[in-house]
Amino acid sequence: MSAELMRLRCRGHRDIRATHTKTLEFTTSSDITGRATCVIGVGATVEGPAPARLAGPLRITLSVGDHNFTVRALANSAWRPGSGAVVRLSSERLPNTLATDADRASADLPRELLHALTDPDAEITIVVTRDTEAADGRLVLYRAGDERDDRLAAEIAAADTVIAEEAGAGQVITALGADADPWDSVLPSVAAGGRVLAVSTEDTRSAPVGKLLAAADRPPVEVIGLPAELAVAALSPHPVPVLLAPHERRRQIGKLLGAHRLSRVVFRAPAAELPKILDEAGRTLGVRTAAVTAATGAAAERPWWGPVAEAAARVTGGGDVLCCVDPAEEVPEGAEDSDVDLSALVGALAAQSVSSKTLALALATLPTWSRKRAYDFVLEAAKARQPAGHTGPGRPDSRPTKG
């Protein structure tokens, strides 16, 4: 049996109706009216120690007397214990959302159990455990800060595989795998429906994550810790620069896409206008894939990516949405790099006594360039400039030892 993660206590209420077909709720309020059709318990409180956050697949079991009711759902790690707890069939994350993607709602309660909940003296117990049988099949891209946070801790605990994408992320995670290629762990985990967490502190993408995003059967992706404009761009498998144009006027978006065919272009548009924009991008520019998400709120953590012809249909409701259009042309190898001859540029600056460290740090600011790639590039450039027979160490900022 799975270990208990959290326990709530509620009471029954004479106005519990449990007729809502999309949600269920344990409210902290002590009183409700018959209009609260999703509520199945009032006066909710956490019993005993509670986790700071919850993440991953859950089993939520309600018990009153001899009656039980279990819901399987996906935790929202942005939710904090102590507030009202809503479980949704949809994937929409609001501040009071304990879990989403549920398999049952309040209307699914057995009638005998519903009758028991209408007794104000009924004591209701809700036990939350990890659903170890669920095949989540999910990639979570987490942009972390310099210090560990409780939401990251919850995501680590829920993950089947954790990837630290660069050294900074390794400082955030206290327990990592050994020196083996992370892809050796990621591939079997994804194939088995595992939950993969990729933690980064920089604008870099590791090889395993890049492979996973480019896979034909890629899993659903969540993006935590990035602004919505960057979260919607994070799903693209193309390692090319991102152009942010969230305030561009509607009539200028087509021109913008045409002028930047080898970039990921992010724009904001009314949901009602998105179908026309994407249809034009597909017909006139040859755009094949795009990502869409809500413009604000926690819903931006669950963007959708796929064929451009399907993207507009993934938008629900009104208001504005954010869209990231992938390159309109086939991206040749190395297209993410500048057209400038970087080897010649690095050589010229080194000849002017610019240090190797400064050169590497400058290259690392370019889109898709990690610090390791930049230092390796500067090292190779330094080796190419060395005269035949040179035996110096050749590392950035290294100096020959004086005899």
Rounded distance, CA 54 to CA 5, Å? 8
CA distance linking residue 24 with residue 32, whole number of Å: 14
User: What are the backbone angles phi and psi of residue 290, rounded to the nearest 5°?
Assistant: -160, 160
Return d(Cα 159, Cα 212) in angstroms, integer: 16
Amino acid of residue 257: L
- Which pLDDT score is estimated for 317? 67
Minimal CA–CA distance to 123: which of 70, 67, 82?
67
| CA separation for the pair 146, 225 (Å, rounded) | 12
pLDDT tens by residue, the chain, 403 residues: 568 999 999 999 999 999 999 999 999 999 999 999 999 999 999 998 888 899 999 999 999 999 999 999 999 999 998 888 999 999 888 889 999 999 999 999 999 999 999 999 999 999 999 999 988 889 999 999 877 789 999 999 999 888 888 777 877 775 444 455 556 667 777 777 889 999 998 877 777 788 888 888 888 999 999 988 999 999 999 888 889 988 878 778 988 888 888 889 999 999 889 999 999 999 888 899 999 998 776 778 999 999 999 998 887 667 889 999 999 866 555 544 444 567 777 788 888 788 888 888 877 766 556 677 778 888 888 777 666 555 554 444 444 334 3
Instruction: Please name every residue paired with 329 in a beta bridge, in sequence order, or none if there are none.
Output: none
* Alpha carbons 271 and 89: distance in angstroms, whole number: 23
Compute the distance between CA of residue 155 and CA of residue 130 in angstroms, rounded to an integer. Answer: 12
Confidence (pLDDT) at 258? 87
Rounded CA-CA distance 44/91 in Å is 23
The pLDDT assigned to 118 comes to: 96
Q: What is the pLDDT of residue 2?
A: 66
For 332-365, b/e burial (b = at least 16 CB within 10 A) is: eeebbeeeeebeeebeeebeeeeebeebbebbbe
Are the CB atoms for 125 and 8 separated by under 8 Å?
yes
Contacts of 306 (CB under 8 A, 6+ apart): 289, 290, 314
**Measured in Å, how far apart are the chain's first and last C-alpha atoms?**
69
Q: Which residues contact 393 (CB under 8 A, 6 or more apart)?
A: 400
Phi, psi of 84 (to 5 degrees): -60, 145
Per-residue pLDDT, 386: 67
Residue 282 is classified by DSSP as I
- pLDDT score of 11: 97
> Given this model, what pLDDT does residue 401 score?
37
**Residues 77, 154 contacting (CB under 8 angstroms):** yes
Residue 34 sits at φ, ψ, to 5 deg, of -65, -10
- C-alpha to C-alpha distances, 123 to 35, 43, 64, 359, 392, nearest whole angstrom: 22, 10, 6, 67, 77
Strands 221-224 and 289-294 come out as unpaired
The vertex-127 CA angle with 122 and 131, nearest 5°, equals 145
Are 92 and 81 in contact by the 8 Å Cβ rule? The answer is no
- 372/47 Cα distance (integer angstroms): 48
Give the global pTM: 0.77
